[in-house]
């Protein structure tokens, strides 16, 4: 049986890393029936709509998507389609694992962290006002009990499944007494249901400092939308940069898989982007589908190929192009699956 999934090539380096990821996923032998759809700046330029009805309808049916990064105009222009998709399909849990692979030149050895980012509200709720006359801009940081409970509970459940020992809630409740305070107090309430996982909390600025000097003291992190966005890029920096960190957006009956990074316009079209981040998202997609052996094969192949620095892309000091790297990895996946 083939899995029906929506495939969104996206903008910038998107089409390059999406093609590479499909090559690697297909090497596992798991079959996908891809429904290719447009979104983002490329869709806007082609159709006048950055999130065409056909794309929404496709995900409505498949409830599963692999997507490349989408360019969002800065300051004005259309709202982020990434955020729009996460909200439209209520993919409230954004999982961002961060694991050291060989030869990645991060400042630490053996980093193994996972971040759970609330994905539908906070400063991304889209509640913004501009008072033209007085030149005052407001962005509302909406935190709800429902939204906080479900992300904190998801984090505990997933951390438990993965055998994690500690969950740290990150907030700014000293300043954001209402929104941060609500999130923190809900975290403390739910923690009582999980005595097997140690629970503590950190203020965001301190957490940023802690992660760059002693990441090994942390295990799993749960936080609100904006802090999760920022910390996950920081965590990518601990393990070799944005080229290597994958991510999953999970809801109760829908999941969208994308990299942490954006469309990287500075390197788009050159064939040099590192597709590992989206490949790791693809690995998460396989796990989500229960294709554990295939997911393990992808991860094992990544470890093996990363052992050989020359096989890597330029961001990691290697000499491979995006497609050369994908072909090497796909060949290794086929060997592992056949063994
Ligand atoms: P970015 O993540 O696209 O790039 C930041 C830096 O990391 C650049 O120097 C880039 O070359 C490098 N980089 C990123 N991915 C890489 C990869 N796979 N291999 C090698 N190097 C890589 O962030 P930036 O420049 O702030 O944003 C560009 C656009 O992407 C914006 O329009 C932004 O809104 C959008 N974006 C979209 C996201 C998504 O679709 N989920 C997430 C983040 C940003
Ligand atoms: Mg981000």
CATH node for 107-238: 3.40.718.10
Mean pLDDT value of segment 53-71: 97
Handedness of CA 165, 204, 90, 287 (dihedral sign): negative
Mean pLDDT value of segment 108-122: 96
pLDDT in the model for residue 105: 79
Distance between CA 295 and CA 281 in Å, rounded?
A: 10
Asked if 166 and 218 touch (Cβ cutoff 8 Å), the reply is: yes
Distance between CA 174 and CA 52 in Å, rounded?
A: 42
Ligand 2 center to 285 CA (angstroms) = 19
pLDDT in the model for residue 336: 98
Residues 167-203: tens digit of each pLDDT: 999 999 999 999 999 999 999 999 999 999 999 999 9
Asked if 7 and 37 touch (Cβ cutoff 8 Å), the reply is: yes
The residue written with tokens 């592992």 in the block is: 336
Please name which ligand lies nearest the alpha carbon of 68.
Answer: 1
Asked if 18 and 258 touch (Cβ cutoff 8 Å), the reply is: no
Q: Running DSSP on this structure, what letter comes out for residue 316?
A: G
Residues 263-317: tens digit of each pLDDT: 999 999 999 999 999 999 999 999 999 999 999 999 999 999 999 999 999 999 9
pLDDT in the model for residue 275: 98
Distance between CA 80 and CA 159 in Å, rounded?
A: 29
Does the annotation mark 200 as catalytic? no
Closest residue CA from atom 22 of ligand 1: 243
Distance between CA 334 and CA 176 in Å, rounded?
A: 51
Mean pLDDT value of segment 42-57: 95
Does the annotation mark 172 as catalytic? yes
Ligand 1 center to 67 CA (angstroms) = 14
pLDDT in the model for residue 4: 98
pLDDT in the model for residue 77: 86
Which of 50, 263, 278, 318 gets mutated to test ligand 1 (max ligand atoms within 8 A of its CB)? 263
Per domain, the residue ranges of the chain are 1-96+241-339, 107-238
Ligand 1 center to 239 CA (angstroms) = 16
Mean pLDDT value of segment 138-159: 98
List, as ranges, residues with CB under 5 A of the ion ligand 2. Answer: 229
- The answer on pLDDT for 1 being more than 90 is no
pLDDT in the model for residue 170: 98
- The answer on pLDDT for 76 being more than 90 is no
Ligand 2 center to 133 CA (angstroms) = 32
Q: What is the pTM of this model?
A: 0.95
Closest residue CA from atom 40 of ligand 1: 69
* Whole-number Cα distances in Å, 314 to 10, 23, 53, 127: 22, 20, 37, 40
Mean pLDDT value of segment 80-98: 94
Answer whether 1-96+241-339 and 107-238 agree in fold: yes
Closest residue CA from atom 4 of ligand 1: 264
- The answer on pLDDT for 75 being more than 90 is no
pLDDT in the model for residue 108: 92
Report, at the CATH architecture level, how domain 1-96+241-339 is classified.
Answer: 3-Layer(aba) Sandwich (3.40)
Ligand 2 center to 193 CA (angstroms) = 31
pLDDT in the model for residue 107: 87
* Whole-number Cα distances in Å, 70 to 13, 98, 212, 239, 276: 9, 22, 28, 23, 17
Residues 199-248: tens digit of each pLDDT: 999 999 999 999 999 999 999 999 999 999 999 999 999 999 999 999 99
**Ligand 1 environment, Cβ below 6 A:** 13, 17, 69-72, 82, 242-243, 258, 261-267, 273-274, 277, 315
Distance between CA 13 and CA 23 in Å, rounded?
A: 16
- Looking at the CA of residue 40, tell me the nearest atom of ligand 1: 40
């Amino acid at each position: 049986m083939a899995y029906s999934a929506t495939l969104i090539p996206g903008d910038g380096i998107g089409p390059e890393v999406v093609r590479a990821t499909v090559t690697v996923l297909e090497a596992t032998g798991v079959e996908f029936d891809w429904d290719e759809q447009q979104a983002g700046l490329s869709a806007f330029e082609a159709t006048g709509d950055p999130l065409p009805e056909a794309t929404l309808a496709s995900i409505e049916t498949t409830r599963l998507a692999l997507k490349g990064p989408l360019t969002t105009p800065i300051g004005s222009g259309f709202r982020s389609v990434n955020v729009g998709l996460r909200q439209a399909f209520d993919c409230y849990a954004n999982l961002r694992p961060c694991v050291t692979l060989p030869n990645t030149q991060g400042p630490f050895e053996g980093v193994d962290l996972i971040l759970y980012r609330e994905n539908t509200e906070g400063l991304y709720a889209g509640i913004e006002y501009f008072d033209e006359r007085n030149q005052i801009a407001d962005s509302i940081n909406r935190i709800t009990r429902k939204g906080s409970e479900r992300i904190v509970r998801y984090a505990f459940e997933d951390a438990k499944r993965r055998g994690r020992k500690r969950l740290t809630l990150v907030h700014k409740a000293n300043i954001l007494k209402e929104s941060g305070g609500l999130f923190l107090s809900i975290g403390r309430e739910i923690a009582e249901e999980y005595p097997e996982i140690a629970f503590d909390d950190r203020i965001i600025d301190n957490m940023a400092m802690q992660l760059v000097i002693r990441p090994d003291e942390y295990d799993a992190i749960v936080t609100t939308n904006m802090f999760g966005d920022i910390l996950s890029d920081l965590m990518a920096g601990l393990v070799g940069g944005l080229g290597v960190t994958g991510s999953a957006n999970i809801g109760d009956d829908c999941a969208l898989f994308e990299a942490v990074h954006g469309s990287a316009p500075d390197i788009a079209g050159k064939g040099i982007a590192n597709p590992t981040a989206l490949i790791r998202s693809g690995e998460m997609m396989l796990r989500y589908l229960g294709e554990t052996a295939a997911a393990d094969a992808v991860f094992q192949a990544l470890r093996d190929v990363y052992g050989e620095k020359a096989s890597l892309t330029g961001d990691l000091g290697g000499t491979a192009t995006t497609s050369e790297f994908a072909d090497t990895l796909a060949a290794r996946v086929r060997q592992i699956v056949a063994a």
